Chain A
């Protein structure tokens, strides 16, 4: 590995890191504005024009709050919980291809931090470590509400991970690669419209529902349902440790939208992309990708402020009795259809 590549990758890491944090910060603002809009209110409008400085004020406040640890809590695990949650959330962005290659300084710069051939498996693995953050945080609080929130969160997340894994396998079977770059390039098609969602609508639906559950978003926000569990697993948290849990949720939402866009909606492919080339294509592709991400984030929020919450047994039944069989049958059908198309019979 030469020095140029290391500098290039370091800059890319810092850029993605900065953008992720900025987007997560502004998603809190976006969420409140969307909620206000859906409920016919105004939303935050005091800090700066249209309340645009509100997230910065919130983040500042988080820093200067008292860093409180309850007497009964397990001190180190209490600190470790939000740390793991934030760390795993920040790691997932590494394998997502943000756009086509850019030509600059006489070299082709890849807008993907690490193009490893296990891409999507890496994301699934890191996501499942994220469960530990919530579990450890909730248990260490030594609070009954936190404990129930944490246990609900972990059993919900592991249950939905199965259906999510099977629906990803369906896409991998079509593409023949786990690398997100290959999966995105495989959806190029004619006019840049060979998106997987047209071939795998059921798979997309299953993946989208499990993504909602994995990020603990409504209607699957049972781990932190305010009406029964106060704040769920983060009831005892304050200061930036609470901030980490909330930021991790928003970063996960951003990354999930990116993964949905990359797996099913062609990533940086867009209709009519063949008319462009070089850096124009790279910039337009990246913009198209971010456009899709913002759209899915909006859908996440739209669902949160529209649908009521599930009951816990309904949630488990949906995960185990509907989504897993549906995704398995979809997997079999996909295999048979591909076999038929390739003429193996």
Chain B
């Protein structure tokens, strides 16, 4: 199938959609703020935390595994993004493109195996 070129006019409806969505979100947030009751007291304004008295602040470092996941995601997501332009032109590039992408997938897999062997994907340790 021929991929067509989009002009900026094709994106214009997205602007209308964004204006409608943003308008709805902002209006609703303002309206609910005005309508509801407003009762303030020192205890009521505390964080809830399951009814137990709140201990300390929630601004503390968490397990480094989450951070590792985020770093790995950035790495692999960039590689996944590289696939998209190839996939669109897959049938035009023919065998040469396929061999190149197989090489790319092999690199991808080597990196993946390295991460695997290093234990970056382990959660119970």
Contacts and interface: CB of A to CB of B under 8 A. Distances in A.
A203 B103 CA distance: 22
Interface in A106-131: 113-118, 121
B105 interface: yes
Interface in A172-205: 172-173, 175-179, 182, 185-186
B95 to A, nearest CB: 4
B76 to A, nearest CB: 5
Contacts of A162: 73, 76-77, 80
A90 interface: yes
Interface in A323-343: 324-325, 328, 331-332, 335-336, 338-339, 342
Contacts of B54: 72
A66 B14 contact: no
Interface centre among A79, A115, A118, A240 (most CB of B within 10 A): A240
Given A1-B9, A17-B21, A173 B87 contact: yes
A91 B21 contact: yes
A10 B20 CA distance: 9
Interface in A143-195: 143-148, 151, 154-155, 158-159, 161-162, 165-166, 169-170, 172-173, 175-179, 182, 185-186
A248 B77 CA distance: 24
A321 B36 contact: no
B12 to A, nearest CB: 6
A141 B58 contact: yes
A114 B14 contact: yes
B90 A335 contact: yes
A1 B80 contact: no
Rank and list the top 3 A-B pairs by shortest CB-CB distance, nearest first.
A313-B123, A90-B21, A240-B32
Given A169-B84, A335-B90, 11 more contacts: A63-B35, A83-B25, A91-B18, A113-B16, A115-B10, A142-B57, A155-B70, A169-B80, A185-B1, A236-B47, A240-B28
8 contacts: A67-B36, A72-B58, A86-B24, A141-B47, A155-B70, A165-B81, A179-B3, A235-B49
Interface of A: 1, 6, 9-10, 12-14, 16-17, 62-67, 70-73, 79, 83, 86-87, 90-91, 93-94, 113-118, 121, 141-148, 151, 154-155, 158-159, 161-162, 165-166, 169-170, 172-173, 175-179, 182, 185-186, 230, 235-236, 239-241, 244, 312-313, 316-317, 320-321, 324-325, 328, 331-332, 335-336, 338-339, 342, 344-345
